[in-house]
C-alpha cells in the first residue's frame, strides 16, 4: 500500500485543538512558547534557559545513581555540562511497558534531541520522566491485546482513597499469573519465548512498577539511548519543595490565572484539565490525597476533619509533597533544563492552559513537540486493504458504515436481474400475440413456458444472491479483521497494544523497523508503517 500518513484534521478521536496545533500553530500561538516547527523557537528557549539555570549537582547525582541501578549507561553525566539542555518526555508506569505510544514518545525525544544538538550547537540530552507518583492504579495495571485485556490484580484498592504512588508498589505473586496468561494469549512463534523472557526479567515478584518499567524501556531503546528519571527520589523533592509550598500559599493567584486561560480556551477549543483551587497532593506510604484549600489552611482529601494551617505548610516534609497534573510540568522544568517537551495530544491540550503558570514560577516554558503517532500495518493486513481498496482512516468507522459503501442497495447484480425481468416481460408481450395468431390453442402452452422462464430466472437470481451474500460475508469478515488490527478494541492501535504484541510476532525486526522508519518530520500527521 502507498498511503503513508493521515492528516489529523477530520480523524475520529482527535481534538480540534490538537489538529490545529499541528497544522495551524499561529491560531494557538498565544498559549505556547513557540512554533514547534521553527528552529528559532528552540533557540529562544535555549537562550532563556541560559539566564534561568537549574541546580544540576544534586539532580545529576541522583540521575547517575538511578541509571546505574538500571544498568543504563552514563548519558546522565552529560547533564553536568552547564551548557547542556534536555528534551523531556514522560509517561505513567504501564505494566509491561504500557501501550505502543510510550515507545513512540521515547524515540521521538531521542530523535529531537539529536536534531537540536546540531541546531543549537550544544549538548541536548533526551530524558524520560517516569511518572510513578500518580495514584491511578487502573491506568497502569492492564495489558491490552487484540480482543482481550489482561489485568494485574495484585493490589486491591481500599473502599476509600487509593494506594498512594503506584510506581512504588511491589509486584507480588499475582504477577506470575499474569505472566502465565500472557503465554496463553500470545501466538506461538519462534520469537515468543525469548521476548517474554526479556520482559519477565523485568516483571517479577519483588520489583516495583517503576523499576520494571525502566528496565523494559531500556531493553526496547537500548542502553544509554536516553536518561531515565524517577522524580519520586526525596533528594529531588527537596529541590522542588519551595515551588510546591509557594503554590500552596499562593493558590488563589495560580487558580485565577489558570481559570482565565482555560475560559479563553473553551471559547474556541476545550480545556483539557478541570480547574480547581489547589494543585498539590499530600503523600503517605499508603495514600495520595489532594489538599483542598479551606480559607485558613488545607484539608486532606480523605481526612477532611484535619486542617493544616497555612503557617505550617513549611513543616510538611518535602517527600510528602506531590504535584498534580497542573504542577507536574512546572516541577519537571524547575529540575531540568528543558528546551522541549515531547507530548501526546492530551498533553498538548493541557500545556495550552499553563503558560501563565510558567511566568508565575519564573521558569521558561519549553517548546511542545508532538510525538510521532503511528499505526503498524502487518503485511497480510496491507494485502487485504489493497484488495478491497480500504483506507486506514475509513477503518475507524463502524463496520455497517464501511459495508454500506461497498454493498449499496440496488447493487449491479440486483439491477441486472431487474433488467432481465423487464426484458422477459417485453419478450412475453411480443411472443404471446404472435403465437396465438398462428394457433389460439397454444396460448396455455405459451403461458406455461413463460412461467417456466420466470421461475428459472428467479432460481438463478436466488442462487446468485446467495453467492453474493457469501462474498459479502467474507468481505465483512476481512474488513473486521483489518479494523481490529488497526483499531483494536475500537481504539487507536498505539493506545491499546504493547510493543510486546508485535515483538512476539516479528522479533527484533519490528523494533529495527520502528527505530529506522519513525520520522519526526511527519509529526504533524499520523504515520502509517507497513511492516516488511
* The three three-digit cell numbers of residue 335, written as one number: 529540575
502 and 484, same structural domain?
Answer: no
181 and 164, same structural domain?
Answer: yes
- Residue 305: inside a domain, yes or no? no
Q: Distance between CA 141 and CA 152 in Å, rounded? A: 5
227 and 159, same structural domain?
Answer: yes
Give the relative orientation of helices 443-486 and 379-387 as an angle to the nearest 10 degrees. Answer: 150
Gap between the terminal Cα atoms of the chain: 11
442 and 327, same structural domain?
Answer: no
- Residue 278: inside a domain, yes or no? no
- Residue 253: inside a domain, yes or no? no
DSSP string, 35-57: -TT-HHHHHHHHHHHHTS---HH
Residue 335 near residue 239, CB atoms below 8 Å: yes
Q: Distance between CA 355 and CA 263 in Å, rounded? A: 14
Residue 123 near residue 117, CB atoms below 8 Å: yes
Residue 228 near residue 260, CB atoms below 8 Å: no
389 and 333, same structural domain?
Answer: no
60 and 145, same structural domain?
Answer: yes
- Residue 272: inside a domain, yes or no? no
Over the stretch 85-141, which tens digit does the pLDDT of each residue have? 999 999 999 999 999 999 999 999 999 999 999 999 999 999 999 999 888 898 999
Total domain count for the chain? 2
- Residue 147: inside a domain, yes or no? yes
Q: Distance between CA 481 and CA 470 in Å, rounded? A: 16
pLDDT number for residue 409: 47
- Residue 83: inside a domain, yes or no? yes
209 and 116, same structural domain?
Answer: yes
pLDDT number for residue 2: 64
- Residue 503: inside a domain, yes or no? yes
154 and 107, same structural domain?
Answer: yes
* The three three-digit cell numbers of residue 521, written as one number: 518530520
* The three three-digit cell numbers of residue 146, written as one number: 487484540
Beta-bridge partners for 369: 342
481 and 348, same structural domain?
Answer: no
At residue 283, the 3 state secondary structure works out as strand
459 and 392, same structural domain?
Answer: yes
| Burial of 5 from C-beta contacts in 10 A (0-12 / 13-18 / 19+) | middle
Nearest CA to 196 among 531, 484, 499, 512?
Answer: 499
pLDDT number for residue 438: 83
Residue spans of beta strands (DSSP E) within 214-356: 227-229, 280-283, 288-293, 297-300, 308-309, 321-323, 338-343
Q: What is the pTM of this model?
A: 0.89
pLDDT number for residue 418: 86
Q: Distance between CA 487 and CA 479 in Å, rounded? A: 12
502 and 358, same structural domain?
Answer: yes
- Residue 430: inside a domain, yes or no? yes
Where in the sequence is the domain holding 389, given as residue range(s)?
381-490
507 and 467, same structural domain?
Answer: no
pLDDT number for residue 442: 81
Tell me how far CA of residue 248 lies from CA of 133, 251, 275, 372, 526, in angstroms: 19, 5, 15, 36, 40
Residue 197 near residue 515, CB atoms below 8 Å: no
Over the stretch 237-277, which tens digit does the pLDDT of each residue have? 999 999 999 999 999 999 999 999 999 999 999 999 999 99
Percentage of the chain modeled with pLDDT above 90: 75
Within the chain, which residues score under 50 in pLDDT? 409-410
Residue 479 near residue 402, CB atoms below 8 Å: yes
Amino acid at each position: 500500500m502507498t498511503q503513508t500518513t493521515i492528516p489529523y484534521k477530520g480523524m475520529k478521536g482527535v481534538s480540534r485543538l490538537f489538529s490545529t496545533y499541528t497544522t495551524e500553530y499561529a491560531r494557538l500561538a498565544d498559549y505556547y512558547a513557540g512554533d514547534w516547527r521553527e528552529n528559532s523557537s528552540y533557540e529562544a528557549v535555549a537562550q532563556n534557559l541560559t539566564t534561568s539555570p537549574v541546580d544540576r549537582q544534586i539532580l545529576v547525582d541522583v540521575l547517575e545513581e538511578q541509571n546505574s541501578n538500571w544498568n543504563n549507561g552514563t548519558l546522565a553525566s552529560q547533564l553536568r555540562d552547564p551548557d547542556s539542555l534536555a528534551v523531556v518526555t514522560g509517561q505513567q508506569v504501564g505494566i509491561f511497558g504500557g501501550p505502543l505510544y510510550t515507545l513512540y514518545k521515547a524515540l521521538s525525544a531521542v530523535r529531537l534531541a539529536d536534531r537540536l544538538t546540531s541546531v543549537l550547537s550544544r549538548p541536548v540530552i533526551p530524558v524520560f520522566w517516569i511518572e510513578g507518583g500518580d495514584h491511578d492504579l487502573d491506568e497502569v495495571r492492564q495489558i491490552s491485546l487484540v480482543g482481550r485485556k489482561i489485568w494485574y490484580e495484585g493490589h486491591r484498592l481500599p473502599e476509600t482513597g487509593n494506594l498512594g504512588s503506584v510506581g512504588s508498589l511491589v509486584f507480588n505473586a499475582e504477577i506470575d499469573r499474569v505472566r502465565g496468561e500472557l503465554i496463553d494469549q500470545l501466538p506461538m512463534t519462534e520469537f515468543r519465548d525469548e521476548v517474554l523472557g526479556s520482559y519477565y526479567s523485568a516483571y517479577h515478584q519483588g520489583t516495583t512498577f517503576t523499576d520494571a518499567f525502566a528496565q523494559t524501556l531500556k531493553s526496547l531503546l537500548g542502553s544509554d539511548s536516553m536518561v531515565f528519571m524517577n522524580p519520586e527520589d526525596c533528594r529531588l523533592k527537596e529541590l522542588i519543595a519551595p515551588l510546591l509550598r509557594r503554590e500552596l500559599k499562593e493558590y488563589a493567584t495560580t487558580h485565577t490565572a489558570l481559570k482565565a486561560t482555560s475560559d479563553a480556551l473553551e471559547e474556541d477549543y476545550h480545556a483539557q484539565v478541570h480547574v480547581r483551587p489547589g494543585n498539590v497532593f499530600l503523600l503517605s506510604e499508603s495514600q495520595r490525597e489532594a489538599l483542598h484549600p479551606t480559607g485558613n489552611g488545607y484539608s486532606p482529601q480523605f481526612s477532611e476533619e484535619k486542617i493544616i494551617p497555612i503557617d505550617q505548610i513549611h513543616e510538611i516534609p518535602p517527600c510528602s509533597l506531590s504535584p498534580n497534573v497542573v504542577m507536574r510540568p512546572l516541577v519537571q522544568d524547575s529540575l531540568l533544563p528543558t528546551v522541549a517537551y515531547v507530548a501526546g495530544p492530551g498533553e498538548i491540550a493541557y500545556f495550552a492552559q499553563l503558560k501563565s503558570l510558567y511566568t508565575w514560577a519564573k521558569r521558561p516554558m519549553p517548546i511542545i513537540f508532538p510525538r510521532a503517532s503511528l499505526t503498524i500495518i502487518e503485511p497480510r493486513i496491507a494485502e487485504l486493504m489493497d484488495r478491497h481498496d480500504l483506507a486506514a482512516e475509513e477503518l475507524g468507522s463502524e463496520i455497517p458504515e464501511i459495508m454500506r459503501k461497498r454493498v449499496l442497495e440496488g447493487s449491479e447484480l440486483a439491477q441486472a436481474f431487474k433488467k432481465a425481468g423487464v426484458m422477459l416481460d417485453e419478450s412475453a408481450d411480443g411472443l404471446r400475440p404472435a403465437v396465438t395468431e398462428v394457433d389460439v390453442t397454444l396460448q396455455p402452452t405459451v403461458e406455461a413456458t413463460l412461467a417456466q422462464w420466470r421461475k428459472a430466472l428467479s432460481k438463478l437470481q436466488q442462487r446468485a444472491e446467495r453467492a453474493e451474500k457469501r462474498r459479502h460475508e467474507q468481505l465483512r469478515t476481512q474488513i473486521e479483521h483489518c479494523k481490529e488490527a488497526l483499531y483494536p478494541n475500537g481504539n487507536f492501535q498505539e493506545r491499546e497494544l504493547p510493543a510486546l504484541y508485535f515483538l512476539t510476532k516479528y522479533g527484533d525486526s519490528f523494533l529495527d523497523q520502528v527505530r529506522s522508519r519513525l520520522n519526526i518530520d511527519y509529526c504533524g500527521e499520523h504515520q502509517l508503517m507497513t511492516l516488511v
